[in-house]
Amino acid sequence: MGEVIGALLTVVLGLGGFVGVLLLIYTATNALPKRFRERGQIAVFLGPALILLVLGLAIPAVRSVWISLHSDTKGFPFGGLANYKTIFTEKNGQTAVINSVLWVVVGGTLSTLIGLTIARYADGLKGERILKSLIFIPITLSLAGAGIIWKFVYDGPPFNYGLLNAVTKAIPGWPKGLGGDGQRLWLLEHGAYMNTILLVIILIWVQTAFATIILSAAIKGVPEALGEAAQVDGANSRQVFYKITLPYIRPALLTVISLGAIGALKAFDIVQATTGGNFGTSTIANESFTTFFTQNRDGLGSALAVVLFILVIPVVILNQRGQKLAAEVGP
């Protein structure tokens, strides 16, 4: 008990001391000449954040790039781009890259399309709030928790029979190859990429909720006058949606797409909670973790992390474009 109290006191005193120092510096900046005062106060509040950003992100990123250029052989010699060549020439690396692309293309695209469809057709329904509350439930779970739930869905012999086997077995005349006998090992007996698709379904289940909420709010933000004016000119509801609503909510749509893509590229929790990256389901994030921490291959693990970082850059640019469009469209 004493150790707990001592730890709490240390935290409180540390945070209190940090805040006290900031307040003292802020007070000191008030004594500066007026032309320097505002810059001084900005530096007081942004300075610590920038320092933490450099120490916690910039320096580790540069270090990862440097490590990725070294071989994992004895002595850790400089190896140039050898680790990057390994990623794209060896089977494990190729599988991880292709799987990550599948996560983005299939997971990101379908979750956005399904979310947009639900947001469109649920808008104005009698039970809209209840329906959206039910759809929102998956996003309240951690990705690891979602993976564990779906692991029970995909379970097969000799373990407890999962929900998917129970459902396919109950359908009269359902082909045995698709689970009609209730004996499928869904995450083991299919090809590597089919196994990956089964995991991507979990991501779609979670991210569809996020896409629905954001896009639904965006659709409700479209001025009714625009749709009414289009209908007066003879446009039907479908034309109003595609010609008026969809262009208007494009900033929100780009944001959903970009965040969905980033989430898919970072796919790690679901993979670890279900297959551990086995059976051809490893992604770049999972392969980087396994290579670096389990196999102790620092160079190759860092190279995988750098590849992931490079793949995220275009998505971040897309997100910035969405924010710029949002600013141009205005409230």
Q: What is the pLDDT of residue 141?
A: 83
Question: Distance between CA 104 and CA 114 in Å, rounded?
Answer: 15
Q: Token match 């869905």: residue?
A: 153
Q: What is the pLDDT of residue 101?
A: 92
What would the pLDDT profile of 90-109 be if each residue is shown by its tens digit?
A: 888 999 999 999 999 999 89
DSSP character at residue 66: H
Question: Distance between CA 56 and CA 104 in Å, rounded?
Answer: 27
Question: Distance between CA 143 and CA 271 in Å, rounded?
Answer: 9
pTM of the model: 0.82
Q: What percent of the chain has pLDDT above 70?
A: 92
Q: What is the pLDDT of residue 177?
A: 73
CB 180 within 8 A of CB 174: yes
| 196, containing H or E segment | helix 192-220
Question: Distance between CA 289 and CA 283 in Å, rounded?
Answer: 10
Phi, psi of 78 (to 5 degrees): -65, 130
Q: What is the pLDDT of residue 303?
A: 93
Sign of torsion over alpha carbons 318, 323, 324, 329 = positive
Question: Distance between CA 95 and CA 191 in Å, rounded?
Answer: 12
**Under-70 pLDDT residues of the chain:** 1-2, 26, 32, 35, 41, 124, 158-161, 190-192, 322, 325-331
Question: Distance between CA 257 and CA 111 in Å, rounded?
Answer: 9
CA-wise closest residue to 196 among 327, 301, 99: 99
* Chain centre to alpha carbon of residue 240: 32
